[in-house]
Structure 1
């Protein structure tokens, strides 16, 4: 199969031919339709991911973690998926086979799920890493409905997901962004947006939330 891979640590990713992976017991093979880009992709390949992920152990190393596609083959044993299921998820970066290839094998009990009805595969592929990080942040701040969350860097992938998840829990989101990024934050559920480049940020924040905030998520 074709894949984007590196041949060594810090090597340039290139298009290569590698064997099509075969699913083991408890695994599924996914035919990849879409793969999204994440900072972790290049951090893993140059060994700078730190505690987030170990450097590659085997080469060629296929890059990428987030994906969407359809189950192509089922490994042995019990499995919660069926051939043809539309799925999306996040690959284990410790494996030598990532999402920048035509096929990917993952454990059926890993971060993989059916694509919800009404969600297209292209959008689904962009959600796993950013969405999981946003969910972890929201769990950590532990806000109740009608409390206020200030999100710095809200216009990024994690920030956009966090804004929507928080709004769904009736949390009031103040989005701190830069310049014209303000225009789309309201449509994502932000109660107010603050332009960090338009004068002293403290003054803008006092105006947007005169009663203060209950939690801060700094994603910048």
Structure 2
């Protein structure tokens, strides 16, 4: 079978579509025949060596790439009771130190990291969801805001930001969205009540809309202190990129969202998709062998939604 791996850190040229042995599921695991797998910023940081330099992973001889996946279970390991061969699923590979990721023909995941796929969308759409939506959902968990409270979402037109807007609205929160001016219609359709164009003085503009500042913020654009200034004293702040969190001035509770796979939460997200309350967004699809092009396009920016590789 084929899998995208790296044997050294560097630019897109180090990506290799290699022939590797077929993986076998162990206890509590399933093997998935991959129908679609999204490309995420974490893949670029893995490939470049940035995560290794930050001490988040150990350099290995071979490192696999890919987190998001949608496909069909083709083999089940001992002890798996909740899934069956032939079942369509989606899930998340949340470990960095693996020889094989989801950018492959087949991938083995723990059964706790997957869920039945949404019924109303394609595998390509489903593959664009897990990492972004789980990051947004777990960020909202960290904020712990109650119904009617206000939340600022920076980078609201991106994958994590867009999911954060919709999930916040689903929880009964009032959303202030920050994004490029041309994305205002998009984020308002996702449910944002207020909009602040990128480049505005965020703290002042948000406080003009919400006197005293918002109750919490999800900083998907990694604005740090600029976004913190829009939060009220003793509010809450979730940074979705490690190392991008600001100092918790004015008693603001600041936390990093360290994403984790969560099959039950994915089940709940699938239900929201099927109910039309959570929107998968695919920027483009590419064959697996064009993964270097996908990395270049993602690095260039301006994508709205995820690129999805199709083996």
User: What TM-score, normalized by structure 1, do the two folds share?
Assistant: 0.89
2:164 equivalent to 1:162 = yes
Q: Which of 192, 195, 216 is residue 194 of structure 2 equivalent to?
A: 192
Q: Counterpart of 2:89?
A: 87
Separation in 2, partners of 1:65, 1:203: 37
Q: Counterpart of 2:291?
A: none
Q: Residues 6 and 200 of structure 1: is their aligned pair in 2 closer, same or farther, counting only changes over 3 Å? A: closer
Alignment of 1:60-99 (within 5 A): 61-91=63-93, 92-99=95-102
Give SS of 1:25's match: coil
Q: Counterpart of 1:5?
A: 5
Give SS of 1:30's match: strand
Q: Residues 4 and 114 of structure 1: is their aligned pair in 2 closer, same or farther, counting only changes over 3 Å? A: same
Q: How big is the shift at 1:210?
A: 4.3
Q: Counterpart of 1:217?
A: 218
Q: Is the 8 A contact 1:66 1:89 kept in 2?
A: yes
Q: Is the 8 A contact 1:74 1:83 kept in 2?
A: yes
CA RMSD between the two structures: 2.1
Deviations 1:42-92 (A, max 9, x none): 222333226784135342x32111111110111223332101111111113
Higher helix share goes to which structure? Answer: 2
Q: How big is the shift at 1:215?
A: 1.4
2:151 equivalent to 1:149 = yes
Q: Residues 143 and 44 of structure 1: is their aligned pair in 2 closer, same or farther, counting only changes over 3 Å? A: same
Q: How big is the shift at 1:211?
A: 6.2
Give SS of 2:206's match: helix
Q: Which of 181, 184, 203 is residue 183 of structure 2 equivalent to?
A: 181
Q: Which runs of 5+ in 2 are unaligned?
A: 222-311
2:107 equivalent to 1:115 = no
Q: How big is the shift at 1:203?
A: 5.1
- Greater RCO between the two (CA within 8 Å, min separation 6)? 2
Separation in 2, partners of 1:108, 1:58: 27
Separation in 2, partners of 1:170, 1:52: 38
Q: Is the 8 A contact 2:29 2:80 kept in 1?
A: no
Separation in 2, partners of 1:97, 1:118: 29
Q: How big is the shift at 1:2?
A: 1.6
Q: Residues 8 and 143 of structure 1: is their aligned pair in 2 closer, same or farther, counting only changes over 3 Å? A: same
Q: Which runs of 5+ in 1 are unaligned?
A: none
Q: Residues 212 and 77 of structure 1: is their aligned pair in 2 closer, same or farther, counting only changes over 3 Å? A: closer
